[in-house]
Amino acid sequence: MHFPICNDECAEPRPTPLYAACAAHSISNSWTAVNGWAAARAYSNPDDEYRAASDDAALVDLGPLCRYTVRGPDAASALARLTTTPVGELAIAESARGLILDAGGAVANFADLTRLSGDLYLLTTATPADRRLDLATRGFDLAVANVGAEVAALGIVGPAAREAAAAAGIDVLSADASAQGRVRGVELAVRPINFGAAPGVEIIYPAEDALVIWERLRRKRQLPVAGIDALEILRIEGGAPRLGVDFLNADLADAAGKRRPDEIGLPHLAPPNRAWFNGRRAMKGAGDPERYLVVLTVDADAAPVGAAIFSRNETVGRVTSAAFSPKLRRSLCFADIKASALDRPLEVGPVDAGGGRVLARLHDTAESRLAAAFRESLRAATDFRRSSV
Amino acid sequence: MSDFRRRGGPKIEGGVDAVVLGASADALAAAALLARAGLHVVLIETGGGRFHDKAEFAPGYFAADGDPIAAALDQEVIDALDLYRRGLSFARRRLETFVRFSDGAALVLPGDPEIGHEAVAAMSEADADRYAGFIDAERKTARAMAAWFSGDATLDLSPDVYIEKSTASLDDMLAGRFEDARIFDYLRAEAALGAAARPSEPFTYLALLRRMAGDAAGLQGGLAAIEGGGRGLVNALRRAGQAGGVAIRQTDRVKSVIVEFDRVAGVEFDDGGQIRAPVIVSGLSARETFLDFIGRARLDIEFARTLDEPVARVAGARVNLAVNGPLADPNAAAALDRRFLYAPSPFELDRAFRLAGEGSCGAPLIAEMTFPSAFEAGLAPQGCAAASLHLHPVALRPLSDEPWRAEVEAAARVAFGRLAPGSASLITALEVAAVDAAAPPTAAAIERRARLTGASGLEGYFFCGPEAQIGGPLSLAAGRRASEGAMRYFRHGGID
Amino acid sequence: MGRLSQVDLLVIGTDAAGFAAAACAARSGAQTALVATGFESDCDATIAEPPNFVWRLLDLHQYELRFETLPARTSYFADGASPLTTVNDPLAAGRALAARAPALEHLWSAFIDEMSRPQARAADSGVSLGPGRYQSANAALDDYFADEQLKTHIVGAALAPFGLAGDEPGSAAALAAGYLQSHRRAAYAPLVEALKSAARAAGVEIVEPRLKRLGRDGSKLWKAALDDGREIRAANAMASSALLAEAAGIRIDAGGSPLRRRSGAQATIRIRYDRKPKLSAKDAAAAFFIATDRDAIIRARNAMIEGRLDDDAPLAFEIRGKEIIARAPYCPARLRDNGETREWTGQDRQILGRQAAALIEKRLAGATGTPRDIEVTIGPDAASGLRRRSFDVPPTPAPPPSADPIGAAVALALEIARRE
């Protein structure tokens, strides 16, 4: 899950629990707001932060994401209804990714679920889900609390994330499991996260102790802090769409703007044969997608957001978000394209003042590989639906 | 196919094509129609809604469940089930409506709405033409809307006309239209009967068109008295069902509906027994149908909101009266085999709505009265009459609420006194028999019906409960639509 | 100002919305005439700022207009209960509400967000989380919140201006009609003058005599018969405001809006003091509302329908320097005494005015002094106008009631003008 769209017009962004710690490292002093919380665009410069995050490890203040605890005997069934995560299959300390769909099967939010104990779950969403959560849990025996202000959420992103955490005494059991523990008297929970291309961990602990864990991590290794701009590059490389930028929340969009999981490249997060979730019945009746969100490499230094995608002189889509990849020395962008144009050669334009068009190619990302494998497995498996074969 | 028993375990029954839940007229109609189409149907009479035979509410006086007046019966159901041959008949067609106003004046509207203006002319000559023109035009519009009221998704009406008719309040459409304000009082009473919203509030006009759209015994907007009362219709439906092979079972122990891979697979009972069937039609309330038998955990969040809509505070009460002797007022006594309607003045009605909202019952209020003893022998001693009053609006309270019941009884006496002046002392017994929550505005009810019958997404599950009925008078269209949907589903091999 | 006998558009109603609509239609090229109904009054005292597209069309920067923002809303409840304040910024308001209940912090911003979306005004609740098209505001609020005082506060902010109590079907649309979002307001009189000048400058024929009767000439043209016997014919006609036109006995078509006032009238009470109320500038810069709870609002509305003024009648007010402008949204248009209906007398108005001033003084804990002067105006009465309508004429288009009456009227005028 990535941060949702920034709201630059936010009048008074709140400082996250980790703000005091992070702000000290901000050289460029470039801030914006996400979900009403202050978030840094960059601390030093995006290139260095990106390099650290993709080759080594970098710290990220994950405070702006929305967190809820759901506790009670009916917590599992209510969450299974609300999200597409495999709630019933989660063992204690396990984490899973999923989506929140509306009754029409369109994506309303991202959802990461962690089972902290027998009947206590931690739900992390990209944008506030209070209303939907309130409606979804009516009539169930459970208690919901929005804990965003009470926890500090520190992310370590990069291949060396686990080592960095382990060096600070934070025990991360395995690649898939989260853990709970105590470091220097502070209760914390750790779960694996995926920031687009880079793996990582998220450490959640009480806000009052924000500096304790931060100091501990930094004492072992002077990790840089990464801002949103650096993470943008990582997420586009990884193929993770951004809510509000690449597609609209179903609760906000009109009929034409709603997107289903397969239309945004994440069909594997809402498998139809999982235990029933909100929107699954609508998914069954839906036809093939007409539009797809894909990642393209563009043979240019920049691909302006909003630039048109052409196929044989016909406009078939638009660039929704873009970033320059230092690795590929090319611009990578997310684009919303007509399904029929996927197999044809594509061009993006205009990319510069001259108005020229440049070749664009479909780019394989971690998410698109997962999606392809999922589609393949669906085709191969025996389906409870009558097939048209 | 036979049913098979597990050794010592609960019984699982197969070989059934459709299970129908509920004992309402709509459920019976749906079951009979499905059986006629060749399906093997089991109807489970569960929950309330079973029609009892007549009950003695005072020595020598009997009352029966169900509405004896047909105003909107779906002709397609009558034809398809051949109900006339199964015993459905009318004791009297083209019932007159005897209207009383707050100033004591009376208006007798003939059973044929097309000549109503002749009666209006006697009251107000200036309005006769206007009334004729108005009724003509609105009956035409109502006819165009009839299929939509019955459950057709499409509406054959221009968008402007639709917006005007569906969003207007009764006041919007009628205030100032007639010189004699009493005509407005009458139309207001017709439309507001059974409605939760005041006539001045938006969306209330459509209820009048709904009343005009129904037909009885072949006459649009007409009224007919069913032979045998409401039971007469139900018995005819039962016979039709039995003739088609519907197996009727009585039990209160339905626990849930079995859902497999988003389609229904059968019904489960409290003792673990099951009946497996690919089609289930429910005539029970929406709460029971979805929340109790399926459960929130398997319903879309947006769909569940429909089920959580609050119930109106306002209701209609049915009161049975024992009238010991002939009516004193010659106008009212002239014929008991018609429909009586008290049309309160605007002030009286506003006051009644206020008091109903505050938890009690005002008087006078809208009162619709019939004398079932005039249509069926034996319901009252010789020379006496059994009357059935429908009062609206009253507060929605349980029948056990004593102070409220006393207020309703007092209002019933006042209403009777207004309808038949000088005869209030003849009432020797009163029974508040039922209270029904008032209905939301017609367009809202239609939208709710569309959601309940279509948006649950559960394949094979069809709904024809009380929320699928639009307008006061029983129509059976909900049962028909549910059975049509079920048949389509069944014939396509279980795929929608 | 020529004596045109036929125009493209006839605007009925010389209120601010009427002047603006006529002026903008004229600027768009339609030959426009504007006629008064005789029911206009400046009882509103303040009005919402015209939207940007109207400002641009009429170049309103030429006129000396001042607007004030009311950054907060404050509601007072029964005696002794502490007031509730929400600010316009949803996030800041949410944080302040967290003191009442932690969940409110996020539910409030979700609620304001939902109500600001255009979809909220046309929601089909089968597929959205917003209020349904036929839903009452009270049902929609009960769906969101449990805090009764907060719900009373919202009803005061969003529904009282329409004269609605919250239990009417379709009243949930009022929550999305714009009153909950921030508003800049101007004093009514200067704005009307500016718009009148703009209308003259745009070439609108502002007809002096009042409208006597609106009819049709054949089947194509509107025919307005004036007080002085003249007639104006128009290809199109529109009313500047649904309430005004209905009060004048004109049958209107407001697009099916459920927000039209169905009974009673709003009374405006202007209370002038010798000095400004003793409140900090921050506390004074708010839109105030006084009501015990939602049941009291419904009781007041019921009394209004029956021709009585409830003792506990809700009151809205704003402070403008040494003057307090109060509005009693649930006033009967005519009073009913002993079964007889009568008009408001001067004494009735005095009593209402004094009651309002006393209530405000009590809730503001004596921050106001003794009033020097109280002026009470009863607004237009739509319900009695209904009975005078002629059904031989098709309904006249009118803008749907909203928090932005000028914008709505101009939008309708432009739509009609562009159809030509």
Determine, for residues A131 and C89 on separate chains, whether the beta-carbon distance falls below 8 Å: no
* Identity of the residue in A278, A285, A386 whose CB atom sits nearest the CB atom of B300: A278
Both structure tokens of A250: 């179903």
B247 falls within a domain: yes
Q: Within this chain, do residues C252 and C394 fall inside the same structural domain, yes or no?
A: yes
Range 68-97 of A in CB contact (< 8 A) with C = none
- Going through B354-412 in order, the beta strands assigned E by DSSP cover 366-370, 385-395
Neighbours of chain C (3+ CB pairs under 8 A): A, B
Provide the pairing of β-strand A66-71 with A143-146: antiparallel
How far is it, in rounded angstroms, from Cα C193 to Cα C15? 10
Q: Which helix (H) or strand (E) holds A323?
A: strand A314-325
C1 falls within a domain: no
* Cβ contacts of C52-59, under 8 Å, gap ≥ 24: C53/C407, C53/C410, C54/C20, C54/C24, C54/C406, C54/C407, C54/C410, C57/C23, C57/C24, C57/C27, C57/C28, C57/C410, C58/C20, C58/C23, C58/C24, C58/C27, C58/C195, C58/C198, C58/C202, C59/C198
Residues of chain A with CATH 2.40.30.110: 255-380
Neighbours of chain B (3+ CB pairs under 8 A): A, C
Among B179, B200, B220, give the residue marking a domain's end. B220
Q: What angle do CA C190, C193, C197 make, to 5 degrees?
A: 140
How far is it, in rounded angstroms, from Cα C97 to Cα C105? 6
Cβ atoms < 10 Å from Cβ of A315: 12
**DSSP assignment, residue C88?**
S
Q: Within this chain, do residues C206 and C276 fall inside the same structural domain, yes or no?
A: no
B161 falls within a domain: yes
Determine, for residues A254 and C119 on separate chains, whether the beta-carbon distance falls below 8 Å: yes
Domain region containing B257: 4-52+70-88+227-309+441-491
CB B297 within 8 A of CB A80: yes
Per-residue pLDDT tens digits for A217-253: 888 888 999 999 999 999 999 999 999 999 999 988 8
Q: Does A138 touch chain C (CB under 8 A)?
A: no
Domain A255-380, classified CATH 2.40.30.110, yes or no = yes
B41 falls within a domain: yes
CB B433 within 8 A of CB B252: no
Structure confidence at residue A186 (pLDDT): 74
How far is it, in rounded angstroms, from Cα B224 to Cα B339? 10
B392 falls within a domain: no
Q: Within this chain, do residues B304 and B446 fall inside the same structural domain, yes or no?
A: yes
Q: Within this chain, do residues B77 and B137 fall inside the same structural domain, yes or no?
A: no
Q: Does C101 touch chain A (CB under 8 A)?
A: no
Interface test with C, best of B131, B178, B354 (most C CBs within 10 A): B354
Which residues from B are below 8 Å from C when comparing CB atoms? 130, 163-164, 166-169, 171-172, 175-177, 197-198, 200-204, 301-303, 305-306, 308-310, 347, 350-351, 353-354, 357, 440-441, 443-444, 447, 450-451, 455
CB C113 within 8 A of CB C91: no
How far is it, in rounded angstroms, from Cα C65 to Cα C47? 12
Domain region containing C289: 265-380
B352: which residues sit within 8 A by CB, 6+ positions away? B344, B361, B362, B363, B364, B365, B366, B393
How far is it, in rounded angstroms, from Cα C409 to Cα C401? 9
Determine, for residues B302 and C126 on separate chains, whether the beta-carbon distance falls below 8 Å: yes
C339 falls within a domain: yes
How far is it, in rounded angstroms, from Cα B457 to Cα C126? 12
pLDDT at A269 over 70: yes
How far is it, in rounded angstroms, from Cα B319 to Cα B387? 8
* Identity of the residue in B262, B301, B305 whose CB atom sits nearest the CB atom of A284: B262
- If phi over 0 gives left and psi between -120 and 50 gives alpha, with beta otherwise, what is residue A343? alpha
| C50 class by beta-carbon count within 10 Å (0-12 exposed, 13-18 middle, 19+ buried) | buried
Determine, for residues A279 and B261 on separate chains, whether the beta-carbon distance falls below 8 Å: no
CB A58 within 8 A of CB A121: no
B355 falls within a domain: no
Both structure tokens of B389: 């009053």
* Identity of the residue in A77, A132, A135 whose CB atom sits nearest the CB atom of B297: A77
**DSSP assignment, residue B467?**
G
CB C271 within 8 A of CB C324: yes
Q: Within this chain, do residues B206 and B244 fall inside the same structural domain, yes or no?
A: no
CB B97 within 8 A of CB B109: yes
Over its length of 496 residues, how does chain B's per-residue pLDDT go in tens digits? 444 555 567 889 999 999 999 989 999 999 999 999 999 999 999 865 556 678 899 999 999 877 888 999 999 999 999 999 999 999 999 999 999 999 999 999 999 999 999 999 999 999 999 999 999 999 999 999 999 999 887 888 898 899 999 999 999 999 999 999 999 999 999 999 999 999 999 999 999 999 999 888 888 889 999 988 888 999 999 999 999 999 999 887 899 999 998 899 999 999 899 999 999 999 999 999 999 999 999 999 999 998 998 888 999 999 999 999 999 999 999 999 999 999 999 999 999 999 999 999 998 999 999 999 999 888 999 999 999 999 999 999 999 999 999 999 999 999 999 999 999 999 999 999 999 999 999 999 999 999 999 888 899 999 999 999 998 889 999 999 999 999 999 998 765 4
Neighbours of chain A (3+ CB pairs under 8 A): B, C
How far is it, in rounded angstroms, from Cα B358 to Cα C76? 24
B117 falls within a domain: no
Angle of the B206-213 helix axis to the B442-454 helix axis, nearest 10 = 70
Among B166, B197, B220, give the residue marking a domain's end. B220
Looking at chain C, how many residues does it have?
420
Structure confidence at residue A140 (pLDDT): 95
Among B155, B186, B220, give the residue marking a domain's end. B220
Structure confidence at residue B154 (pLDDT): 83
Question: Any bridge partners for residue C87, and if so which?
Answer: C72
Structure confidence at residue B155 (pLDDT): 86
Provide the pairing of β-strand B274-276 with B263-269: antiparallel
B78 falls within a domain: yes
Determine, for residues A139 and B495 on separate chains, whether the beta-carbon distance falls below 8 Å: no
CATH number at residue B32: 3.50.50.60
Q: Within this chain, do residues C168 and C30 fall inside the same structural domain, yes or no?
A: no
How far is it, in rounded angstroms, from Cα C250 to Cα C216? 13
How far is it, in rounded angstroms, from Cα B287 to Cα C59? 58
A44: which residues sit within 8 A by CB, 6+ positions away? A25, A27, A28, A224
DSSP, collapsed to helix, strand or coil, labels residue B135 as helix
B300: chain A residues, CB-CB within 8 Å: 103, 278-279, 281-282
Q: Does A119 touch chain C (CB under 8 A)?
A: no
Determine, for residues A251 and C127 on separate chains, whether the beta-carbon distance falls below 8 Å: no
CB C322 within 8 A of CB C274: yes
CB B452 within 8 A of CB B470: no
CATH of domain A67-146: 3.30.70.1400
C105: chain A residues, CB-CB within 8 Å: 146
Q: Within this chain, do residues C375 and C278 fall inside the same structural domain, yes or no?
A: yes
A386: chain B residues, CB-CB within 8 Å: 495
Structure confidence at residue C125 (pLDDT): 45
B64 falls within a domain: no
A13: which residues sit within 8 A by CB, 6+ positions away? A31, A32, A33, A36, A37, A38, A39
Determine, for residues C134 and B172 on separate chains, whether the beta-carbon distance falls below 8 Å: no
DSSP, collapsed to helix, strand or coil, labels residue C333 as coil
- b/e burial code for range C331-346 (CB count within 10 A of at least 16 → b): bbbebeeeeeeeebee
Residues of chain A with CATH 3.30.1360.120: 19-63+148-238
Cis upstream peptide for B202 (omega within 30°): no
Which one, of B355, B434, B442, lies nearest residue B394 by Cα? B355
Total structural domains within chain C: 3
Taking chain C (420 residues) in consecutive chunks of 10 residues, what is each chunk's mean pLDDT?
Answer: 74 96 96 93 82 95 90 91 92 91 90 79 60 92 95 96 95 90 84 95 93 89 92 95 95 94 94 92 91 96 94 93 94 92 94 94 90 93 90 94 95 91
Q: Does C298 touch chain B (CB under 8 A)?
A: yes
DSSP assignment of C194-255, as one string? HHHHHHHHHT-EEEEEEEEEEEEETTTEEEEEETTS-EEEEEEEEES-HHHHHHTT--EE-T
Q: Within this chain, do residues C174 and C215 fall inside the same structural domain, yes or no?
A: no
How far is it, in rounded angstroms, from Cα B60 to Cα C5? 77
Determine, for residues C91 and A135 on separate chains, whether the beta-carbon distance falls below 8 Å: no
Which one, of C407, C416, C410, C412, lies nearest residue C177 by Cα? C407
Total structural domains within chain B: 2
What is A19-63+148-238's CATH topology?
Gyrase A; domain 2 (3.30.1360)
C66 falls within a domain: no
How far is it, in rounded angstroms, from Cα B456 to Cα A381? 28
